[in-house]
């Protein structure tokens, strides 16, 4: 069985790596900032650098916070590209810009290696459950090679186009999520200000057309006053900025995305960058003078 290198053992990467081990894959793991003792205890081997990962692996997965960290891990000094072997497939599952995908892909192509972008949706709980939605951009033959591995971490794996297409679709998802959170926030602020029990509002709305996975997932957290990040304001700012950059390159207008980015930047200024993106409701709560709680 091919050795899978796994770079990035944060809140998402760690459970994803664990699910691959449970599925019977042999892993070589590395994270510059996080320990890997728990994964080693499950059977993974510990690497000493990104270059070490690539020199010993036939397939490499990266799961890191942003474009800059992915570029550093793959193209930087001591990175994956320095030790990569001919025919190796690198699968980035982070949320990075389409431009970064193309840049990395071009470098690896010169080394006779392959690169695909496979960003995930679903958050930490779905990473733990192994039920992530994975949207892939890249060559079809390369996709088919790694698809069984991706299915070890997700319940839905779809090839949507060439390199960078997965990242574009992920950005579309993040636009929808951000705007949905804002819409839900406005609705619940309105009803709470009118004196209606927000739990009853949730029970009433969730079965109708206005119901959504976002509402079902985020309103219970808000009612409990729980803003611990499943997906942080900081990460979502990165996504929306990437979406606006892509829109600029494609001559597309995204006014709602721009408005949501400004709201999230305001929350970051107020010291809430590490909070869950449902913290958007705090802006509405401050203006209305009410809190949507049990």
Instruction: Provide the β-strand partners of residue 157.
Output: 134
Average pLDDT over residues 43-48: 97
Average pLDDT over residues 61-74: 96
Task: Kindly report, residue by residue over 51-63, the tens digit of the pLDDT.
Answer: 999 999 999 999 9
Same domain assignment for residues 121 and 184? no
The CATH number of the domain where 218 resides is what? 1.10.1040.10
Token pair recorded at residue 135: 């949207």
Same domain assignment for residues 13 and 33? yes
Same domain assignment for residues 13 and 80? yes
Give the rounded percent of residues in the chain with a pLDDT score beyond 70. 100
Q: Is residue 224 exposed (0-12), middle (13-18) or buried (19+ Cβ within 10 Å)?
A: exposed
CA separation for the pair 257, 261 (Å, rounded): 6
Task: Kindly report, residue by residue over 144-174, the tens digit of the pLDDT.
Answer: 999 999 999 999 999 999 999 999 999 999 9
Does the structure show a pLDDT above 80 at 42?
yes
Task: Kindly report, residue by residue over 216-231, the tens digit of the pLDDT.
Answer: 999 999 999 999 998 9
Residues involved in catalysis:
170
pLDDT value of position 288:
98
- The helices-and-strands tally (H runs, E runs) of the chain is 14, 9
End residue of a domain, out of 107, 138, 162: 162
Does the structure show a pLDDT above 90 at 98?
yes
Mean pLDDT, the chain, rounded, equals 97
Task: Kindly report, residue by residue over 182-203, the tens digit of the pLDDT.
Answer: 999 999 999 999 999 999 999 9
H or E stretch at 133: strand 132-137
Instruction: Provide the β-strand partners of residue 154.
Output: 132
Same domain assignment for residues 13 and 153? yes
Answer yes or no: is 111 within a domain.
yes
Based on the structure, what is the number of domains in the chain? Answer: 2
Task: Kindly report, residue by residue over 247-294, the tens digit of the pLDDT.
Answer: 999 999 999 999 999 999 999 999 999 999 999 999 999 999 999 999
What residue numbers bound the domain in which 229 lies? Answer: 168-288
Task: Kindly report, residue by residue over 84-96, the tens digit of the pLDDT.
Answer: 999 999 999 999 9
pLDDT value of position 230:
86
């Amino acid at each position: 069985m091919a050795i899978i290198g796994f770079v990035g053992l944060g809140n998402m990467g760690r459970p994803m790596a664990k699910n691959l081990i449970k599925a019977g894959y042999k892993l070589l793991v590395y994270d510059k900032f996080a320990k890997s003792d728990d994964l080693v205890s499950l059977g993974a081997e510990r690497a000493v650098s990104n270059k070490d990962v690539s020199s010993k692996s036939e397939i490499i997965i990266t799961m890191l916070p942003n474009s800059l960290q992915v570029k550093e891990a793959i193209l930087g000094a001591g990175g994956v590209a320095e030790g990569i072997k001919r025919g190796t497939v690198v699968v980035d599952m982070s949320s990075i810009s389409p431009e970064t995908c193309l840049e990395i892909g071009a470098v690896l192509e010169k080394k006779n290696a392959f690169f695909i972008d496979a960003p995930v949706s679903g958050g930490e709980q779905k990473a733990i459950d192994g039920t992530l939605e994975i949207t892939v951009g890249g060559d079809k033959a390369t996709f088919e090679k790694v698809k069984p591995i991706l299915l070890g971490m997700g319940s839905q794996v779809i090839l949507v186009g060439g390199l960078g297409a997965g990242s574009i679709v992920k950005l579309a998802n993040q636009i929808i999520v951000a705007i949905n959170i804002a819409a839900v926030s406005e609705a619940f602020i309105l009803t709470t200000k009118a004196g209606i029990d927000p739990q009853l509002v949730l029970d009433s709305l969730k079965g109708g057309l206005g119901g959504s996975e976002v509402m079902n997932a985020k309103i219970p957290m808000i009612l409990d006053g729980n803003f611990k990040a499943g997906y942080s304001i900081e990460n979502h700012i990165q996504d929306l900025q990437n979406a606006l950059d892509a829109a600029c390159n494609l001559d597309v207008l995204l006014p709602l995305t721009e408005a949501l980015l400004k709201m999230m930047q305001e929350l970051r200024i107020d010291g809430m960058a590490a909070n869950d993106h449902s913290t958007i409701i705090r802006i509405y709560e401050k203006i209305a003078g009410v809190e949507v709680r049990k």
